[in-house]
Amino acid sequence: MVDTKVNLLGITLDNPIIPASGTFGFGYEFAELYDINCLGTFSFKGTTKEARFGNPTPRIAECSSGLINSVGLQNPGVDKVIAEELPKLAKVFNKKVMANVSGFSIEEYVEVCSKLNKCNQIGWFEVNVSCPNVHGGGLSFGTSPEAVAEVTKAVKKVVTKPVILKLSPNVTDIVSIAKAAEDAGADGVSLINTLMGMRINLRTKKPVIANKMGGFSGDAIFPVAVRMVYQVANAVKIPVIGMGGVSSAEDVIEMMLAGATAVGVGAANLVNPYASRDIVNDLPRVMEKYNINSLSEIIGGCK
């Protein structure tokens, strides 16, 4: 019998599969399709201080082996998340959930995290300093080691739960960003968020997406994600959550060999709403195929 359990910052997960923020709503939507308690956990929709309608439409552009999105952190705001979304989730999910938080200032990150810290359902914070689809927040913090450190220190002062920094691949040196987060007290890092992409309509000769550019995700970015996870995992001592183009149990094993303690599944959920469940179910077969008895023992196994 294979062992799929992993430990993520003091909390044992039944398996390393974590549907990524922005691809799994607040969970209860997917609970209408299958029992989401089969997952390790999931990262809920990026939450900000105030409600956000998001970017203008069209927001999605199809690509070969992927897609570009520019949703723009549409969410009901932290107060409604606490009052309405988390109680709905509690009815269908009995595990700790990961809170994905975005902000447009240090003060906003602090306020949102401080409020969510009081919620027993929250097991970890995933602080998003890497969203490419909003102006003046997210990515502007994630491209500077100094800014990442500042956000990390500020959030750590007001929360009691582990803080994971979600990093952007749209930088020249992701290792320096990860080390800045670690040095500032981050408990973990997750990477990668989407790459910047763009499509142009040949008939109109205008960008397909109203926001012109957006986040490119899907199978095509998997090799980039594996490379960055490998680089970061070999440079820091804190856990890494690997993501980016993961769509199969084989991809999960590869990410973990690169150094990931847990693995996020993003765009695959948008293509197939059962993707994360199917990966969980297929993990034991793939482990047996490659003579892996315990997933926790293969983390960082590629040297």
Active site residues per annotation: 131
**Paired tokens of 198:** 């763009």
Beta bridge partners of 216: 68, 195
Task: Please provide residue 30's backbone torsions phi and psi, each rounded to the nearest 5 degrees.
Answer: -80, -25
Residue 39 to residue 17: CA distance in whole angstroms: 6
Q: Are 211 and 133 in contact (CB under 8 A)?
A: yes
Q: Are 58 and 213 in contact (CB under 8 A)?
A: no
CA nearest to 215, candidates 197, 239, 190, 229? 197
Residue 165 to residue 177: CA distance in whole angstroms: 10
Continuous segment of H or E residues that includes residue 87: helix 86-90
Distance from first CA to last CA of the chain, Å, rounded? 27
Q: Which residues contact 279 (CB under 8 A, 6 or more apart)?
A: 17, 246, 247, 248, 249, 252, 265, 268
Task: Please provide residue 222's backbone torsions phi and psi, each rounded to the nearest 5 degrees.
Answer: -55, -45
Task: Please provide residue 52's backbone torsions phi and psi, each rounded to the nearest 5 degrees.
Answer: -130, 130
Three-state secondary-structure class, residue 100: strand
Q: Are strands 66-69 and 214-217 parallel, antiparallel or unpaired?
A: antiparallel
**Paired tokens of 302:** 């590629």
CA nearest to 85, candidates 72, 73, 99? 99
